[in-house]
Structures are given as structure tokens and as C-alpha cells.
Structure 1
Amino acid sequence: MKSLVNTLSTSLIAAAVLAAPAAFAGQSPVADGVKKALGDSKVNLNFRARFENVDQDGIKEDANALTLKSRITAKTGAYNGFSLGVEVDNVTELVNNYNSTRNGETKYPVVADPEGTDVNQAYIQYKGDKATFTAGRQRILHSGQRFVGGVGWRQNEQTYDGYRLVYQASDAFSLDYSYVYNINKIFGPRGASADDDGEFHLANAVYKINKDHKLSAFAYLLEYEYSYAKSTTTYGLQYNGNFGPVIANASYAQQSDRDDNPNDFDADYFNLELGSTLGPVKVLAGYELLGSDNGIGFSTPLATLHKFQGFADKFLATPGDGIEDIYFTAKTKVSGIKLSATYHNFSADKGSRDWGSEIDLVAAYAIDKNYKVLLKFASYDADDHATDTDKLWLQVTAKF
């Protein structure tokens, strides 16, 4: 609540600063500029209805969740480079036979979409020729969202309270730095798991070598006020390139304990992907390692975790022995329907245990520019980690 008050206070002060000249200047150029900024405001509506079924071994009842996310987004035009943005989300439970993590329905598997209304974004932004500065509650997404993301798949998005500077030094080089003091998690807007307070430094620098090759460096310094074991320091490099018909992506990072973390560890991260197009089919093969040291696995608590290591979400927390993920993806388009299939094989970094395997299938169709339909299925086959789990989603999205 404290972080929300701080964020709203920042936005209200910003609104007063933006509007005050108009109140005192009559028909002056200042007033005309403010009036134009308000007149250039944009308001968007977004509705996402989703049915999710979860069949999980070890839990007798299947989860059946039907939820509706309703979002309104408003952003003013710019006045002397300044603009304001506000976004409000509401998540409504239409069928609630599931464990939302907050409703006490523990006889069902988890579907992490609790009901509630939340201020998703509320910020003031200044945009100059090369720099953009944003203060308040905002969306922060870094390069593929493997380390910093918004978890946009869930109905209640993860956003950040803080300050962000994006500096485009040239066409080739950019720097993105954020200081965050609160993380608004997907389990909100109420409850003990709704927020994570602390001091979080998020930095990402990108250098475009040429049109086919890009190199990034990143640093994530996470100091949690209460969840000490999640406090870490992470430094890494990422490469993205095209070699004619072949794409290549590679990342390496090193992570260690930070601040009051009671654990002592140094763990590695590595990812390599190679992809190409074979006729109408795009194929990708990848290897991802989240290493382990002293029984502690490499962690990415701010990532859009659903995007990685299988849609069944069995590895939201890295096992103590780490995880190796070998995966293959094929994508194509038939009669306007986007189809994809992915196979994962999971094993431990330390030791010889096999965690399990998973198959993910997706079919997505855009009816028109406003309406989209998605059908999605995940099947996790457990060996030495978690239990067999099948998940099915049917989703309809409308944007105006």
C-alpha cells in the first residue's frame, strides 16, 4: 500500500505540474500547449477472457478457472517533452474452481490469477532527443524478459515502482538503467505476496555491431528487504546474430549472493540457440543451463518465467541442483493460424538426475485487428522433479 501511495502521489504531483500553467495563463502559449497535450491523449481498452484447466498428479481435483481481465490505459500527449500515463486492471473470477494463491482453495491446483483491481501503471515521463526518463509505476521489459519482465501471460501483470532512464547515445548504442524500490507481483493487488520491497538496480546496454549482429551487457543487483535469500548480483553478456539463413543467440551470466543473503554461492547461466527456416516451417534448437553451487540454483525472480522451461510452469524456482533444458521448437502458419510445437528435456546440472520432459502446443488466430483467439496445451512428464501435469488454455482477446 505504501508503494502505491508513493506512486500515486508522484503522478498527482506530475499532473498538477502539467496542468497548473493552464490554470494561470489564460489563453497563453503555455495554456495552448497543455490543452493540446490533453487533446492528444489516447485511451485504450483491453479485455482478455481465459479458461484454464489444470490436471496435476497428487491433487485429486482438477482446476477450472474462467477469468476476465479488463484494462483501461490512458496516456496524455506531450507538453515540452512531458506526458502522463495511467493504466488500471481488473481481474474477475467467472468460474473459480482453482487455487488463486489467495482464495484458500487449496484442494485445487494453482492458477495464479487472483481477483482484484490494481493500478498497473501510473507515471510521468519526459522524452528528449536522446533520453527518456520515467518516474512512477511502470512496465520494464529487458531483452526477451529472461531476467527482467512483466509476466504478461498472467492476468495481473508484474510492474515496477521506481525510476528509469533510457539513453539512445547513437543508432548503434543504447543504455537502459532503472532504480526500483518495489515490485508489484502477479499475486496482488492484496495479500502478503503482492509486493516485494527493496533496492533493485537493473541495467542493460546494447551495441548494434551492424544490422545482423548485436551485443548486450547487463547487470542486475537485487536487494530484497524481507526475502533475503533472493538477494543476488548478476552480470552477463548476450549476443544475437544472423548468418544468412541461420539465426544464433548466446548468453552467459554469473550470479552470486548479495547483501543479507544467508547463502554463499557462485552459479553460472548459459544459453545457446540456433534457428533457421525450412520451407514454411521455422525451426529452433536450444540449450539452457541454470547452474548450481553449494545447493543453490541460479535464479531469475524478475523474469517472465512462463516463457521459459515449459508452459506447465514446473520450474518457476530453480532446483537446488540446477537445471539443464534441451529444447526444440517448430513454427508454421496454416490458413492464417499460427502453430507452434516445443519439446523440452530437463535434467540436473549437478548429479545425474532427470527432472522430466514436456510438450507445448499453441494455435493462435487473429480474427481481425481487434480480436484474437488462442488455444494452448502443455504436458509435463515428471521423473525426479514435481508431478505429471497437463494444462489447457482457451483465450479470447479484444482490444479497442
Structure 2
Amino acid sequence: MKTSLKLFATTAIASAFATPAIASESALDTLISESKTNVNFRYRYEGVSQDGIDEDAVANTLRSRLTFTSGTVNNISFKLEMDDSRPISSADYNSAVNGNTEYPVVADPKGTDLNQAYVQYKKDSFAAIAGRQRILLDDQRFVGGVGWRQNEQTYDGLSFKYSSDAFTGSYSYVNNVNRIFGPNGSSAQAADWRGDVHLVNGTYSINKEHKLTGFIYSMDFDNAASASNDTFGVRYVGNFGITKLTASYASQSEAGDNPASYTADYFLADAAVKLSKLSLNAGYEVLGSDEGNKGFITPLATLHKWQGWSDKFLGTPASGIKDIYAGVSGKAGPVKLSLTYHDFTSDYGSIDLGSEIDAVAVYPINKNVKTVLKYANYSADSHATDTSKVWFMVQLSL
């Protein structure tokens, strides 16, 4: 497959310059003259206080991103994106790579990495991408980019996409996952997961207000066998005036060399109501368990987005998780505010795991600068330990 990816990229670039109507010099000029270059800086303070660890984590990190998107010639374009993430003061935190285990984890390791590098062919309703790329499917519950962390998760592979008024579908083959612990990684947290990953996703629009999605995700990892799985599911999103309903179901079993033999189910029911000045949200999410032996896993998800921002459930417990949550959001002038409460119990045995309160304020100073103040407080019952986290972030886009 690696050979076919290289062949696709080589053929695509060659075809852009091979058409007699456009001389190679003119094509190169178009690629450059119609290109866009973007620069993004994201400073973040993250402080963590965790029971059982004497030292508090203090992380001041800066992510610098440079993105180049070429112009288009004969439906061919390419993108290059470089990221650099590093502490800008003393590294009093455990990045999961730096070995500072006397501190709580702040998973933002130091490193410079090629975040994206791909060639794209796009014509009408069809697109094909070969190379290192973002893959963000639906709400990123199963496949996402972990964009909250300073080093993003991206994918090496080949993707095909088709869209029309009634149907949008995609297929991606991935042979390497560039995880947030890269580019160096550690023995505990690998920088890359290598293997064969097939991602199939299709959405049918019943009408403007109702959409039905089906998905098949097959993951077979060479160096992360316990994360290998086959997942089949459906998702529904419907708008009913001021109310939006989301429901999802999936079934999962082991794949590849996964040492576990299991079957587990996933359920989600979520309702959001938009009022004049406030939005209310409540939901029930279950990552099921196979009789307490193995829980439903989502190894490629944007996990920070789910089950509380304290990140206590990045790995599903063997007994599974039930998450009952409710939240309210609104605006105070230009500032966006949100508050959410989670109550966690196990799927198998209905054991109290813990609860969490999450709050965030986002202030877009202008179109180029955004600030974020964010807080999470996890109160443990039988899972993990009491933890509080606070973040302050400034993002500049040019």
C-alpha cells in the first residue's frame, strides 16, 4: 500500500504539469501565485492538581504552526503543514515522554513534526487525498484529530470522498497513525501506531433536518494489538425546531492480534434545546462491557471532548462506562460560556466511578486572536483520584 500511495502522489503531480495547454512553468506559477500561507501560534498554561501525586503540574507551552496550501492545476493541489510544540519555561509536568513522573500528566511533549503533507485531486463531487492528513469523522467520537493537545493526531494514508445533495461518503485506508506523543514517543506511549486501518463512513440526508449515518471502522495495529477492533454503527441527527436530537449505536469486537475476545456495545442519546439566550444540553452515553472483562474502546477518538475534560477515561475501564451529563451555555457580551456536569457509573455492576464539573469561557478578541479560560474538577468514587485542572490559552492566527 505504501508503494501505491507514492505512485498516486507521483502520478498526480506529474499530471498537473503534463497537459499541453499549460506549460510546466505556467503550472508552477499558478501553484505558487494562488497559494496561501498561514501562521498560527497557541500559548497555553495548564495546571494540574491530583490526589496521590505530591507535586502539581505547571505547563507553559507554545505550539507554532506553519501551513502552506498550493493553488490548483488540473484539479491537483497540495498542502504542507509543520508544527512545533515546546515548553517556554521549566517543564514541571509529565508529558508522558519526558520522564517527569513526579508530576501529573500534561500530554504536550516537546517536538517538531510534519503535521500534514498531502496531494489532493478534487473535481466536482469527488476528492482523493494521498499522504499525511487530518481525518475527522462525524463528531470525532470514533475517529478524530485530538486538536486540543498541542501536537495533533494525523494519519498517513489514502482517502476518497464523494458528496452530493443527498449523500456524503468517504473511505480511508491508513497505514500509520501519528499520535499526540510524537514525534519521539516513549516506551509507554508510542509516537506512531502502524498497521492496517479501514474507515468507511456514509451519511444520507433524509431531508434538510434529518440525517442518517452508517459507519464501519476496522483497526488492526501492529504495535498496539490491544487497540485493534472492528466497529459497526449507525448515527441519527434530527432537528425539531429549537430541539436537536442525536442518537447513535455501535457494536464492537476484537480484531487482528488483540489478546482479548469480546463483544461490547455503544449507545448515545443526546438532546440540545436552543432558547433565546441560553442553550441546554443533556445526554446519556454508554461504552458497554463484555461482562466486566473488556470495555468498548475508541482509540482514534478525540477523547478530550468526551467524558469530562479531566481526561480520567482516556482508556475505557473493563467494566465499561455510563455517563449521564447535563449542561448550559450562553453568552455574556462577546464571551461564550459553558457549564457541564457529568455523573459516571460502570456499565457492568453499576458501580459509582466519579463525577465531574467542567466550565469554559471563550473570548474572541478579534478575528485573529482568541482567549480561552477552562476548568475541570473530577471527584473520584471508585475510579482514579480527585483531580482539578485549569487552562488559560491565547491563540493567534495570521
TM range (shorter): over 0.9
8 Å Cα contact 1:21-1:31 kept in structure 2: no
For residue 15 of structure 1, report the CA deviation from its aligned partner.
Answer: 8.6
Superposed CA offset, 1:316-350 (max 9, x none): 00000000000001000011000000000000000
Aligned partner of residue 379 in structure 2, secondary structure: strand
2:50 corresponds to 1:56: yes
Alpha-carbon separation, structure 1, partners of 2:283 and 2:137: 20
8 Å Cα contact 2:9-2:119 kept in structure 1: no
Alpha-carbon separation, structure 1, partners of 2:80 and 2:8: 9
| One-letter amino acid of the structure 1 residue matched with residue 220 of structure 2 | E
8 Å Cα contact 1:14-1:84 kept in structure 2: no
The answer for the alignment partner of 2:118 in structure 1 is: 123
- Structure 1 range deviating more: 190-199 or 63-72: 190-199
Alpha-carbon separation, structure 1, partners of 2:123 and 2:18: 21
Superposed CA offset, 1:78-105 (max 9, x none): 1100001100000021131000111111
Alpha-carbon separation, structure 1, partners of 2:296 and 2:77: 39
The answer for the alignment partner of 2:205 in structure 1 is: 208
For residue 278 of structure 1, report the CA deviation from its aligned partner.
Answer: 3.0
For residue 6 of structure 1, report the CA deviation from its aligned partner.
Answer: 11
8 Å Cα contact 1:18-1:34 kept in structure 2: no
| One-letter amino acid of the structure 2 residue matched with residue 185 of structure 1 | R
Alpha-carbon separation, structure 2, partners of 1:12 and 1:40: 20
The answer for the alignment partner of 2:326 in structure 1 is: 328
8 Å Cα contact 1:344-1:359 kept in structure 2: yes
Alpha-carbon separation, structure 1, partners of 2:265 and 2:298: 12
The answer for the alignment partner of 2:65 in structure 1 is: 71
Alpha-carbon separation, structure 1, partners of 2:384 and 2:22: 66
8 Å Cα contact 1:11-1:84 kept in structure 2: no
| One-letter amino acid of the structure 1 residue matched with residue 33 of structure 2 | G
Alpha-carbon separation, structure 2, partners of 1:11 and 1:172: 29
In the superposition, relative to structure 1, how do residues 157 and 6 fare at CA in structure 2: closer, same or farther (>3 Å)? farther
The answer for the alignment partner of 1:92 in structure 2 is: 86
- Structure 1 range deviating more: 27-36 or 144-153: 27-36
Alpha-carbon separation, structure 2, partners of 1:39 and 1:227: 43
Alpha-carbon separation, structure 1, partners of 2:350 and 2:273: 32
Aligned partner of residue 194 in structure 2, secondary structure: strand
Alignment: residue pair count? 392
For residue 264 of structure 1, report the CA deviation from its aligned partner.
Answer: 1.1
The answer for the alignment partner of 1:315 in structure 2 is: 313
Alpha-carbon separation, structure 2, partners of 1:47 and 1:106: 28
Alpha-carbon separation, structure 2, partners of 1:6 and 1:185: 23
2:247 corresponds to 1:253: no
Alpha-carbon separation, structure 2, partners of 1:12 and 1:132: 14
Picking from 224, 239, 242, the partner of 2:239 is: 242
* Structure 1: tracts of 5 or more residues without a match: none
The answer for the alignment partner of 1:364 in structure 2 is: 362
* Structure 2: tracts of 5 or more residues without a match: none
Picking from 220, 224, 230, the partner of 2:221 is: 224
8 Å Cα contact 2:69-2:78 kept in structure 1: yes
Q: TM-score if structure 2 supplies the norm length?
A: 0.95
The answer for the alignment partner of 1:132 in structure 2 is: 127
Alpha-carbon separation, structure 2, partners of 1:304 and 1:16: 32
The answer for the alignment partner of 2:302 in structure 1 is: 304
**Cα RMSD, aligned residues only:** 1.9
For residue 230 of structure 1, report the CA deviation from its aligned partner.
Answer: 1.3
Superposed CA offset, 1:196-255 (max 9, x none): 000000111000111110000001000011221211100000000011221100000000
8 Å Cα contact 1:14-1:124 kept in structure 2: no
In the superposition, relative to structure 1, how do residues 129 and 278 fare at CA in structure 2: closer, same or farther (>3 Å)? closer
| One-letter amino acid of the structure 1 residue matched with residue 46 of structure 2 | E
Alpha-carbon separation, structure 1, partners of 2:47 and 2:360: 15
Picking from 31, 40, 45, the partner of 2:34 is: 40
Alpha-carbon separation, structure 1, partners of 2:218 and 2:305: 22
Superposed CA offset, 1:362-386 (max 9, x none): 0000000000000000000000000
Alpha-carbon separation, structure 2, partners of 1:32 and 1:252: 51
Picking from 239, 264, 267, the partner of 1:267 is: 264
The answer for the alignment partner of 1:395 in structure 2 is: 393
Alpha-carbon separation, structure 2, partners of 1:97 and 1:17: 49
Alpha-carbon separation, structure 1, partners of 2:204 and 2:248: 15
